[in-house]
Amino acid sequence: MRRSFIGLLCVWLWLSKLMRMETSVVGEEPPEAGISIVKGRFAYTSYDAGFESVWSSPQISPSRDSVSLALDRSSGAGFRSKKAYLYGFFSASIKLPDNYYSAGVVTTFYISNAELHPKEHDEVDFEFLGRVHGEKYVLQTNMYMRGNTSIGREQRTRLWFDPSKEAHSYSILWTPQHIVYFVDDVPIRELVQDHKLHQIYPSRPLHVYGTIWDGSSWATNGGKDKVDYTFSPFVATYMNFVLSGCVEKNGDEFKNCSSDKHMISKVTGKLPPSLTQSQTESMHWVQHHYMTYNYCEDYDRYPKPLPECQRKNSKRNKDEL
C-alpha cells in the first residue's frame, strides 16, 4: 500500500512539473524596440472587406473581423486579399493550433504574386512550423524572387512565447528601401535593397495570403515528424488585419507609389524609413538568442555564398539585397 502511495505521489509530482512547464514563460523577452508598429497607426480591415477564400472554402470559418482555417484529413485551407498592393504594411494577429501534437502542420501569412506571375513570382513569407509535444514552434521567414524557388533565403527563429496560447501580431513592412519582418513590435529580420541587385528585389504588386496545409515532408525536424491526423482538426485563427498599401486606380497609382516618398510614408503609417537604433538592437538581440538557422551560414547548401551573403560582415543582422 505504501509503495502504491509513493508511486502515485511520484506520478502526481511528475504531472505537476509538466503542467508548470506548459504554463511557464517560454523564454526571455527581447528588449523594447521603442516604437508601436500597429496600434495608433493603422485601421483594421475586416475579413469580409479585405479577403476572399481561394482554397477549400468548407475548411474556412469566417466572421466579420476574423477567420479560422482548419486542416484535417480532407484538406487544408487558404484565403487571399481581394486587391494586390505595391509596397505597404501588412499585418495579422494569429493564434496557432494548440493541439497536443501539431508536427508537420504549416500555418502561413505572406505576400506573393504567384497568381499574377506564375513562372516568375515574388514571395515574402511567415511560415509557422508545427511541433512535437514539448518542443517550441519554429517561425521560418523566407523570400523568393522572380520565381527562383530553388534559392531559398530561410531564417528560422524559436519564438520567446507560445504562439498557440494567444494571438500575436505578425507584420511585413515593404518599401523600395527594405523589407522588415515584425513579431508584435519587435523586428526580427530586415532585408535591405541593394541597388546593384535591384533586379531581384520585389517591385511588382503582391496579394496577401493566409494558409494552413500539410508540410510533413519537411516542416518539423526535417520531415522526421509528420502530421498525425488523429489529433486533427488543426485550427489557426487570424484577426486584426492591416492592409495598407498602394492599390491600382486608373493604372496610375502603382507607378506613383514607386517614386513618391510621401505616398510610401502614408501607406506605411509614417514609420521611419529605416530601423531606429532601438529597433536594430532589439533585432540583433532576437537573432543572437533565438535564431536557429540562417541560409547565409549554410555552406553545405550554398558552397558559393549568395551575393548578399558575400557582403555580410561577421554580425548576422541583415541581408543586403
Spatial CB neighbours of 146, under 8 Å, sequence gap ≥ 6: 120, 121, 122, 199, 200
More confident residue, 310 or 242: 242
Q: What is the pLDDT of residues 232-269, one digit of tens each?
A: 999 999 999 999 999 977 666 677 787 788 889 999 99
**Conformation bin of residue 63: beta by default, left when phi > 0, alpha when psi is -120 to 50:** beta
**How sure is the predictor about 3, in pLDDT bands with cuts at 50, 70 and 90?**
low
Q: Does an H or E element contain 287, and which? A: helix 277-290
**How sure is the predictor about 48, in pLDDT bands with cuts at 50, 70 and 90?**
very high
Q: Give me the residue spans of the domains in the chain.
A: 47-295
At 100 the pLDDT is 97
CB atoms within 10 A of CB 252: 9
pLDDT > 90 fraction of the chain, expressed in percent and rounded: 67
At 119 the pLDDT is 85
Q: Is the pLDDT of residue 113 over 70?
A: yes
Residue of 314, 249, 242, 239 lying closest to 284 (CA atoms): 314
**How sure is the predictor about 8, in pLDDT bands with cuts at 50, 70 and 90?**
low
Q: What is the pLDDT of residues 77-100, one digit of tens each?
A: 999 999 999 999 999 999 999 999
Catalytic residue among 32, 52, 115, 123: 123
Residue of 48, 306, 107 lying closest to 194 (CA atoms): 306
| Mean predicted confidence (pLDDT) in 129-138 | 95
Known catalytic residue at 320: no
| Mean predicted confidence (pLDDT) in 139-143 | 97
Known catalytic residue at 127: yes
Question: In angstroms, how far is CA 2 from the centroid of its own chain?
Answer: 53
Distance (Å, rounded) from C-alpha 211 to C-alpha 123? 14
At 4 the pLDDT is 56
Q: Mean pLDDT: which of 11-20, 208-217, 247-256 is highest?
A: 208-217
Q: Is the pLDDT of residue 120 over 80?
A: yes
Q: Is the pLDDT of residue 168 over 60?
A: yes
| Mean predicted confidence (pLDDT) in 138-143 | 96
| 247 backbone dihedrals φ, ψ, rounded to 5° | -120, 155
Q: Is the pLDDT of residue 7 over 70?
A: no
Distance (Å, rounded) from C-alpha 196 to C-alpha 40? 36
* Mean model confidence pLDDT for the chain: 87
CA dihedral 216, 134, 129, 65 (to 10 degrees): 120
More confident residue, 313 or 113: 113
At 132 the pLDDT is 96
Catalytic residue among 22, 127, 166, 190: 127
Q: Does domain 47-295 have CATH number 2.60.120.200?
A: yes
CB atoms within 10 A of CB 204: 14
Report the predicted TM-score, pTM, of the whole model to 2 decimal places: 0.88
